Amino acid sequence: MEMKTMNFLKEKCGEENYKKLTALNNQKINGFVTGYIQLCNPEKVFVRTDSAEDALYIRNKAIENGEEKKLAMDGHTVHFDGYYDQARDKGNTKYLLAKGIDFGPSIKGINKEEGLMEIQEYLKDSMVGKEMYICFFCLGPLDSEFSIVCAQITDSSYVAHSEGILYRSGYEEFKKKENCNDFFRFVHSAGVIESGVSKNVAQRRVYVDLQDKIVFSTNTQYAGNTVGLKKLALRLAIYQASKEDWLAEHMFVMGIHNPKGRVTYFTGAFPSACGKTSTSMLPGETIIGDDIAYLRNREGKIYAVNVESGIFGIIRDVNPESDPLIWEALTFSGEVIFSNVLVTEKNAPSWLGDERGIPEEGINYSGEWVKGKKDAKGNDITSSHKNARYTVRINRLKNRDIKADDPQGVLVGGVIYGGRDSNISVPVQESFDWKHGVLTMGASLESETTAATLGQEGVRKFNIMANLDFLSIPLGKYINKYLNFGSKLTSAPIIFAVNYFLKNSNDDYLTEKEDKHVWIRWMEQRIHKEIDAIKTPTGFIPEYEDLKRLFKEVLNKDYTKEEYGEQFTLRVAENIAKIERIVEVYKNSVPDTPDVLFKVLEEQKQQLERVKAEHGDYISPEILKASN
């Protein structure tokens, strides 16, 4: 390091932090840190090593500076994001693209020079009077071919604290990699803080530079926009994976245990707030991760790891009956950050659907709150936000899988795609093969929007592999990548589709929240070829007798033929209309769509037309079975 830089860093960081930083012996890190200290101009700098002491320092800072407040229970804190900063901001998340590069209309880009200038302007002096935290983490297990080391600069102790819970520490990993210059970088500033929240949300920006593997985020606090290692890193990882031979997915990883002790691992991709986390935590099964997975081909088989070590989960509807494991982690002492919940007069968190009743008043993301409070536009302010969250380590869950940190990953037997679909697909079905699953289930995924992103809720939207929000390569390329990945497998996992949100014509849900446990146990038996299934134009569906047995075994419920008939009726017209919508999306906005997608969807449509001519628009599973 040049003498000038050395002296500058020493002066800004202080002796101790300077030592921690330079012990890494990493030129790129030194340059990175120096550059952003110069630009952001913090009052102080803190370097986080992997020590418990450093983690505690950051947690204490969050409490000291008011980003988090202590709750009554030991280890619990609450954090509030601004009223208009409660979800991922898709509109202001953009890729910095060189002139002439375009990812197609589904992926937002901005001219690189222009975007860089804008964001550097926002970051300039953004940390005056604040402390800068420099943190090192590792995506994926330590010492693993899956993993990627990362450096995060932030002025938010809440962001740094969250990352300490959500990710494996990576300071020592950086040391081991000796002067490595290939890592992900994140620079975040919450910008001007007023009453504890980012003031200039109108200038909220998340800009992603894929070539330099760096993401900038500013004027926002919500973790989905700020915690670099989460969705910002996923965007970088998808790009990197596309150049190498692996996949970066919006997927849980979990183990399903049959009564004889056999364990089969599944990954599952669902859009936000569609049951991904609660599936991964099913009691009696084991969790590896709930949100992001890396998948690699080893000897013709897929292996997966959880990129994270904690959960940033939606707290709405977490209650002792439906999610007993996380309920326990959230209602006993131990480190938890609650965000955007209501804080009661007893200084305890309260959230929608916690089955303890909504208090009359409290403190929430709008300040002091009383029942009936409305915002400036006259809209009701809910006690706790619909996208309120908890941040905990996975090891707080009693059913953490023993292979959760295995650097080899786990062998994947099944891949699941799910969306919020009120009137088309049956609760569970199995694809005919990898290609059919990828194209008709993953690449054709639609889901009704939720509070996890800004904008209107309940609007049906195309969401390829539940990963559209994070895609950093053109869609056609992504599909081809999946197909190629599959073609190199000698033993591909089976692809399934689930739908937890099917309704009848009275708008009532046809399935219960816990029924997902039965669907996944059915998939487990299908993978091991223990049971037959009924072939339909859209995939294989369960036989009644198998579900009846599983409902009894798993949930101790009597499952009737009427329920089965209603749930597994093939809705022909709805399925045809969906195919037509998906074909339109690809035709109109995905210029590089592979032909095979149109071919497979057309074949499926013709099959549907054929059965429609014979049996009409709604075909019961009995009739489907009889025509097998």
For residue 44, give Cα distances in angstroms to 133, 427, 548: 9, 54, 63
Structure tokens at 549: 């047995």
* Nearest of 483, 144, 130, 103 to residue 294 by alpha carbon: 144
**HEC secondary structure over 46-68:** EECCCCHHHHHHHHHHHHHCCCC
**What is the chain's alpha carbon radius of gyration, rounded to the nearest angstrom?**
25
Q: Is 148 helix (H, G, I), strand (E, B) or coil?
A: strand
Does the protein bind ligand SPV through residue 68 (CB under 6 A)?
Answer: no
Q: 274 catalytic, yes or no?
A: yes
Write the interaction track for ligand SPV spanning residues 277-316; mark x where CB under 6 A is met and - where it is not: --------------x--------------------x----
* Nearest of 27, 30, 64 to residue 47 by alpha carbon: 30
Minimum gap (Å) between residue 552 Cβ and ligand SPV: 34
Does the protein bind ligand SPV through residue 224 (CB under 6 A)?
Answer: yes
Minimum gap (Å) between residue 272 Cβ and Mn ion: 5
Minimum gap (Å) between residue 229 Cβ and Mn ion: 13
Q: Segment contacting ligand SPV (CB under 6 A): 40-48, 184-192, 224-232, 555-563?
A: 224-232
Element (H, E) at 132: strand 131-139
Q: Which CB atom, from 223 or from 494, has the smaller least distance to ligand SPV?
A: 223
Comparing every residue's Cβ against ligand SPV, the nearest one is 224
Sign of CA dihedral 574, 579, 581, 582: positive
**Interacting residues toward Mn ion by CB under 5 A:** 272, 291
Rounded-to-integer distance, Cα 247 and Cα 500, Å? 26
Does the protein bind ligand SPV through residue 159 (CB under 6 A)?
Answer: no
Q: Which CB atom, from 223 or from 394, has the smaller least distance to ligand SPV?
A: 223
Binds 174: which of ligand SPV, Mn ion, none (CB < 5-8 Å by kind): none
Q: Segment contacting ligand SPV (CB under 6 A): 132-140, 223-231, 257-265, 371-379?
A: 223-231
Does the protein bind ligand SPV through residue 517 (CB under 6 A)?
Answer: no
Query: Chain centroid to CA 309: how far?
Result: 13
DSSP class per residue in 514-579 = GGHHHHHHHHHHHHTT-S--EEETTEEE--HHHHHHHIIIII--PPPHHHHHHHT-EEHHHHHHHH
What is the identity of the amino acid at 329?
A
Minimum gap (Å) between residue 227 Cβ and ligand SPV: 6
Binds 36: which of ligand SPV, Mn ion, none (CB < 5-8 Å by kind): none
Asked if 609 contacts 616 with a C-beta cutoff of 8 angstroms, the reply is no
Rounded-to-integer distance, Cα 283 and Cα 419, Å? 22
Sign of CA dihedral 551, 555, 559, 564: negative
Minimum gap (Å) between residue 52 Cβ and ligand SPV: 25
Q: Which CB atom, from 325 or from 452, has the smaller least distance to ligand SPV?
A: 452
Burial per residue of 290-315, b for 16 or more beta-carbon CB atoms within 10 angstroms, e otherwise: bbbbbbbbeeeebbbbbbbbbbbbbb
The one catalytic residue among 40, 138, 150, 274 = 274
Minimum gap (Å) between residue 277 Cβ and ligand SPV: 8
Q: Segment contacting ligand SPV (CB under 6 A): 132-140, 222-230, 294-302, 439-447?
A: 222-230
Does the protein bind ligand SPV through residue 231 (CB under 6 A)?
Answer: yes
Minimum gap (Å) between residue 206 Cβ and ligand SPV: 11
Q: Which CB atom, from 304 or from 619, has the smaller least distance to ligand SPV?
A: 304
Does the protein bind ligand SPV through residue 452 (CB under 6 A)?
Answer: yes
Does the protein bind ligand SPV through residue 88 (CB under 6 A)?
Answer: yes
Q: Which CB atom, from 286 or from 387, has the smaller least distance to Mn ion?
A: 387
Beta strands in 307-439 (DSSP E): 310-314, 336-339, 342-343, 349-350, 361-364, 367-370, 389-393, 410-418, 428-430
Q: Where along the sequence are the contacts to ligand SPV (CB under 6 A)? A: 88, 223-224, 230-231, 272, 291, 312, 452
Question: Which amino acids are annotated catalytic?
Answer: 274
